[in-house]
Homo-oligomer: A and B are copies of this chain.
Amino acid sequence: MAKKNAFYAQSGGVTAVINASACAVIETARKHKDKIGKVYAGRNGIIGALTEDLIDTGKDSAKAIAALRNTPSGAFGSCRFKLKGLEENKLQYERLIEVFKAHNIGYFFYNGGGDSADTCLKVSQISDKMGYPIQAIHIPKTVDNDLPITDCCPGFGSVAKYVAVSVREASFDVASMCKTSTKVFVVEVMGRHAGWIAAAGGLASDKGCELPIVILFPEIAFNKEKFLAQVDATVKKHGYCSVVVSEGVKGEDGKFLSDQGLRDAFGHAQLGGVAPVVANMVKDALGYKFHWAVADYLQRAARHIASKTDVEQAYALGKSAVELALKGENAIMPAIVRVSEKPYKWKIGVAQLKNVANVEKMMPRDFISKDGFGITEKCRTYLAPLIKGEDYPPYKDGLPQYVRLKNVAVPKKLGEFKI
Contacts and interface: CB of A to CB of B under 8 A. Distances in A.
A77 B283 CA distance: 23
Contact of A301 (B13, B173, B395): B173
Interface string A166-193: 1011101111110111100101000000
Contacts of A294: 273, 275, 292-294
A168 B402 contact: yes
Given A174-B297, A181-B80, A209-B404, A398 B265 contact: no
Interface stretch (A26-34, A83-91, A200-208, A360-368): A200-208
Oligomer: number of copies: 2
Contacts of A300: 173
A397 B165 CA distance: 11
B73 A397 contact: no
Given A177-B78, A304-B165, A204 B399 contact: yes
20 contacts: A13-B177, A44-B179, A73-B173, A73-B176, A165-B304, A165-B399, A168-B402, A169-B297, A170-B297, A174-B297, A185-B296, A204-B399, A261-B264, A262-B263, A268-B284, A270-B280, A291-B296, A293-B295, A387-B399, A388-B398
Given A16-B169, A209-B402, A270-B276, 8 more contacts: A14-B176, A72-B172, A81-B180, A208-B396, A263-B264, A270-B277, A272-B272, A387-B398
A401 B262 CA distance: 40
A211 to B, nearest CB: 10
Contacts of A404: 209
A49 interface: no
B260 A264 contact: yes
Interface residues of A, number: 90
A43 to B, nearest CB: 8
A409 interface: no
A74 to B, nearest CB: 4
A389 interface: yes
A384 interface: yes
Given A296-B293, A390-B392, A399 B172 contact: no
Contacts of A173: 14, 72-73, 297, 300-301
